[in-house]
Amino acid sequence: MTEFTSTIRPIPHNDARVFAMLSDLSNLQRVRNSIPEDSIKAFSFTDDHCSFEVSPIGKIEFRIVDREPNKTIKFETTQSPVPLQLWIQLKQVATSDTRMKLTVRADLNPFLKPMVSKPMQEAVEKISEILARLPYEEQDLTP
């Protein structure tokens, strides 16, 4: 397995609020319009599943496989050209200051690894940046 890890990102909210938002994929409905249709198509989700199509890769589907309240959310692909595991780690460092790190493990063969390592690392950074900027304050969540 090849591991890709994001920069640790600050989120100006408590860990319970961040966890509540990220552990329910149906919350993606609120940011759906900000996702560029030219890069991701056929975006759909439920509380535990998320699927989309990325050209030229094809359909990718994730499901949440584990939730540790206010600490970790683990995902696996159920459909993907390359098996992936993804997890989000949260650590509250102050009342309204949670740090987030995104990690992806991909089962890459030795021939594919040199070609996809840089784009995968860039994607992990971009996804973590987007997650850190989500509108956590606009939701009615019980921390």
Q: Is 82 exposed, middle or buried (0-12, 13-18, 19+ CB in 10 A)?
A: middle
Q: Pick the closest to residue 53 from 29, 76, 36 (CA basis).
A: 36
| pLDDT per residue as tens digits for the range 4-53 | 999 999 999 999 999 999 999 888 777 666 666 665 677 788 889 988 87
Which residue segments constitute the domains of the chain, with CATH numbers given? 2-23+64-135 (3.30.530.20)
Residue 140 has pLDDT above 60, yes or no: no
Distance of CA 12 to the CA centre of its chain: 18
The DSSP string of 54-115 is: ETTTEEEEEEEEEEETTTEEEEEEEE-SS-EEEEEEEEEEETTEEEEEEEEEE---TTTHHH
133 DSSP 8-state letter: T
Q: Are 10 and 133 within 8 A, CB to CB?
A: no
| pLDDT per residue as tens digits for the range 66-108 | 999 999 999 999 988 888 999 999 999 999 999 999 999 998 8
Provide φ and ψ at 6, rounded to 5°: -80, 170
Q: Are 97 and 10 within 8 A, CB to CB?
A: yes
Q: Is 79 exposed, middle or buried (0-12, 13-18, 19+ CB in 10 A)?
A: exposed
